[in-house]
A and B are shown apart, each in its own frame.
Chain A
Amino acid sequence: MALLKREEWQGFVRDVDWSYRYVDDDAVFPEWLSGTGKVPREAWLAWEESYKVSYPEYVATQREKESAAYAVKAALQRSSAFDSLTEGWKSATKMHFGGVALVEYAAVLAELKMARFGLNGSWRNMATFGALDELRHAAITTFFGHEFIGKDPQYDWTQKTFHTNDWVAISLRNLFDAMMISSNVVDIAIELPLTFETGFTNLQFVALAADALASGDVNFANMISSIQTDEARHSQQGGPTLEILVEHDPVRAQWVVDKAFWGSARAFAALTGPAMDYYTPLEHRKQSYREFMEEWIIDQFIHTIEDYGLKKPWYWDEFMRGLDIWHHGLHMGLWFWRPTLWWRPMAAVSPDERAWLVEKYPNWEKVYGDKWDVIIDNVNANNMEATLPETLPWLCSTCHLPACNATQSRDGTWRVRDGRIYHFCTNACRQIFWKDRDNVNHETLIDRFLAGQIQPMDVGGILGYMGLTPDVMGDDPDYEAWTKDYAGRPAEGIAAPASAGTAQS
C-alpha cells in the first residue's frame, strides 16, 4: 500500500476531536481548567496554528537537535574551556541554571494541561509537542548544570533552587505558579507561550547566547540556542488563542497580557539585568540591558499585541522608567544580601565600568554611585561587616522582590488594608495584587519571618531557612577588582567597626 502524501493526511490528524455521547462537554472541559469564559464554545473551532508539524517530523528534528547539543558538550567536556570563564560569567550561568531548570519542568505541567484541556484538537496536538519540548528543556538544563558540580558546589543549585525557600526561588515560584500551575488553559496560552516565551525568552535565550559566545562559553550558548529553537515553535500556541479571546472578550485578553508582561519584566530585571550590565565582562558587553529590552522586548512585543488589537499595558510609562532603575537597584540588593545567593555576584563598579553605566544610564551615578562609594570605602577600610546585611530587605507582596525602586514614593501609601497591611515595590504591583488577590498564594519571606516560621529569628536562621550552606553562600569573587582604584581616598561618614560604636561623621 502506498503511503499517503503529507497534505493528504495531516489535515485530519492534526485536529482530531470527538463528539461525546456519555458526558457533557462541560464535564470534559470544565471551566476552571479550560477557561472559555465569555468565548462561545464553537468559536474555538477556528483555532489554527500557523506552523504545522507532524509527530514523525517532530521526532526527527528533535533527535538532530539533541545529538548536536550533546556532541558539542561531549567535545567541550574534554577541554579546559570552563576554567577560563570569568567568575562574572559563571555567576550568570549559575543564576540561569538555578532560576530556569525547574521552571522548564513547571512548563511541562502547563503544556500538559493545555494538551488535555485545550479547546481545539490542533491546540492539544501542539501542546503535546510543547510538553515534550519542555521535558527536553528541563532535562538538558539540569544535565548541563550538573556537569560542573564537581568543580563548584554552587552549580548544585541548578536542581536545588526550586526545592528551597531562598527568596529568589520564592519570587520565581510565585510568578510561574500563577502563570503555569493555577491558571486555566486560555490564560496559560496567553501568559506563557505568547507573553513570556514570545516576549521574554527571546531576550534570555537569544541575547544571552550572544553574551555566552562573547564570554567564551560555547557550551552554554549551544544549550540555550538548542532550547530556543523549540520555543519558536510551541510559543505559537499563544497567537491563535489570543486572536479568539480578543474577538469575544478583549478586556480579559488585555488584562492577562498586561499581568503576565509585568510579572515577567520584574523577574527579568532581577536576573537578566544584573547578568547583562554587571556580570558580563565589560569588554564582552554588546548592548546594555535597556538596549536589549528595547530591541527584543519592547519593539517586537508591542508590535505583536497591537497586531491583535490590544493596547500598550496601562502601566507603560512606569515600566519604561523602570528600565533605568529596576535592575540597578536589584543588583545592589543582590550584592548586599549576597550570602542569600547561590552565585558570586560581582559588584562590577570599577571606574571603567561606572563610566560605561553612565553612558548607558545617564542618571546611574546620581542614583546609585553615592551608595556604591560608601560600600567601596568600607571595603577599602577593611570594614567588611559594614557591607553585610543584618536584616531583610522589604519584599513586595506581588513580585516578592526587594522594594528597591529609588524613584518611587516613600510615604507608605502603596498598600491595601485587607485585614493587614501590604507593601509593594511599584504602582503596578499594587494594582495587580488588588485585582488578582484571590490568585496570590505565596507568603513573602517577610510574612514568614514575622509569623515565626523562621527560627531562630536572626541572619543565621534566615540563611538556614533558605537552604544556604557555607560552601554555597554567595560572596563577591574579587573585591579588589572594583575597589583598588579608590584606595587611599578620603572616606568620611562610613560606619565604624561594630566594636567601635556608632557611625563616624
Chain B
Amino acid sequence: MTAERGAEDRAPELVPLSAIFATDFVQILVPVTTANTMAEVAAAVAHHVEGKRVRALPYDKIVIYQGERLPGDLTVAAAGIKPLDHVTVEYDIPERS
C-alpha cells in the first residue's frame, strides 16, 4: 500500500486564471502552474499591467483569493486555486498612522 501523493509531489500542472491587477480596467487570462508561489502569481499578473496601464508603485504585491490575502510563499496547489478561478493582485500599501 502506498501513501497517497500530495499535490506538492506531482509535476506542475497548468492553472489558467482570471486575474485583475490593482486599479486596472479589465480581467485578463494569466496562466500559472500548481507549483507557482503567490509571489510568482502576483508577478505573472503584474507583468501584463504594471507600468503598462497601472503606474508601478514601490510596494510588494499580494494575491487575494476568495476574499483572503494569501502568503507570498504559498503555492497555487496548497492554496487550492483551481483552473479558471479568479484572483486579484493588489499592492500591499502600508496603512498610514
Question: Could you tell me which A residues sit within 8 Å of B by CB distance?
Answer: 329, 332-333, 336, 367-368, 370-371, 373-375, 378, 386-387, 389-394, 402-404, 406, 410-412, 415, 420-421, 423, 446, 449-450, 492-496, 503-505
Chain A CB within 10 A, most for which of B51, B65, B83, B84: B51
Q: Mark B9-20, 1 if CB is under 8 A from A, else 0.
A: 000000010101
51-76 of chain B: CB within 8 A of chain A: 51-58, 65-67
Query: Which residues of chain B have C-beta atoms less than 8 A from A421's C-beta?
Result: 82-85
User: Given the complex of chains A and B, what is the CA–CA distance between A325 and B40 in angstroms?
Assistant: 32
Flag if B56 contacts A494 (CB, 8 Å).
yes
| CB-defined contacts of B86 to chain A, threshold 8 Å | 410-412, 415, 423
Contact B88 A410 (CB under 8 A): yes
Q: Are B51 and A493 in contact (CB under 8 A)?
A: yes
With A378-B52, A394-B26 given, can you name 6 additional A-B contacts, CB distance below 8 Å? Answer: A370-B23, A374-B55, A390-B47, A403-B18, A403-B26, A404-B27
Tally A-B pairs: CB < 8 A.
112
B42 within 8 A of A: no
B25-A392 in contact (CB<8A): no
Contact (Cβ within 8 A) B20 A410: yes
B28 at the interface (CB under 8 A from A): yes
Does B30 reach chain A (CB closer than 8 Å)?
yes
**A374 near B53: Cβ-Cβ < 8 Å:** yes
The reply to whether A505 and B52 contact each other, CB–CB distance below 8 Å, is no
A-B contact pairs, 18 of them (CB 8 A): A333-B25, A367-B25, A371-B24, A392-B28, A394-B28, A394-B29, A403-B18, A403-B27, A410-B27, A412-B18, A421-B83, A423-B86, A446-B29, A449-B29, A450-B16, A493-B57, A494-B52, A503-B51
Contact B54 A412 (CB under 8 A): no
Q: Which residue of B lies closest to A403 (CB)?
A: B27
> Contacts A332-B25, A404-B26 hold; do A375 and B84 have CB atoms under 8 A apart?
no
Contact between chains at A494 and B18 (CB < 8 Å): no
Please state if A394 and B18 are interface contacts (CB–CB under 8 Å).
Answer: yes
Pick from B30, B51, B67, B84: contact of A423, CB under 8 Å: B84
Given A403-B18, A412-B85, A421-B85, are A374 and B27 neighbors across the interface (CB < 8 Å)? Answer: no
B16 → A minimal CB distance (Å): 5
Is A505 a contact of B48 with CB atoms below 8 Å?
no
Residue in B closest to A415 when the chains form the complex, CB atoms? B86
Q: Check A394–B53 contact: CB distance below 8 A.
A: no
- Kindly list chain B residues whose C-beta atoms are within 8 Å of the C-beta of A336: 53
Interface flag for B87 (CB, 8 Å)? yes
Residue of A332, A374, A420, A449 ringed by the most chain B CB atoms within 10 A: A374
Q: Which residues of A contact B46 (CB under 8 A)?
A: 503
| A406 touching B25, Cβ below 8 Å | yes
* Chain A residue nearest to B44 in the complex (CB): A391
Contacts of A373 in B (CB 8 A): 55
Closest to B14 in A: A450
- A190–B26 Cα distance when bound, in Å, is 33
Question: What is the bound-complex CA distance between A449 and B16, given in angstroms?
Answer: 10
Q: What is the CA–CA distance of A336 and B23 in the complex, to the nearest angstrom?
A: 16
* Chain A residues near B55 (CB-CB < 8 A): 370, 373-374, 492-494
Residue of A nearest to B16 (CB): A450
Contact of B51 among A389, A449, A496 (CB under 8 A): A496
Contact A411 B88 (CB under 8 A): yes
Determine which of B27, B83, B85 lies in contact with A393 in the assembled complex, contact meaning CB atoms within 8 Å: B27
Contact A404 B25 (CB under 8 A): yes
* A391 in contact with B53 (CB, 8 Å): no
- Is A374 touching B24 in the complex (CB atoms < 8 A)? no
A373 to B20, CA, bound (A): 19
Residue of A nearest to B29 (CB): A392
User: Are A493 and B52 closer than 8 Å at their CB atoms?
Assistant: no
A213–chain B nearest beta-carbon distance, Å: 33
Contacts of A393 in B (CB 8 A): 26-29
- Bound complex: CA of A389 vs CA of B28, how far in Å? 10
Asked whether B85 lies within 8 Å of A390 as measured between CB atoms, the reply is no
A390 B50 Cβ-Cβ under 8 A:
no
Q: Closest approach, in angstroms, between the C-beta of B1 and any C-beta of chain A?
A: 33
- A406 CA to B67 CA, complexed, in Å: 18
Chain A residues whose CB sits within 8 angstroms of the CB of B47 once the complex forms: 390
Residues in A whose Cβ lies below 8 Å from that of B52: 374-375, 378, 386-387, 494-495
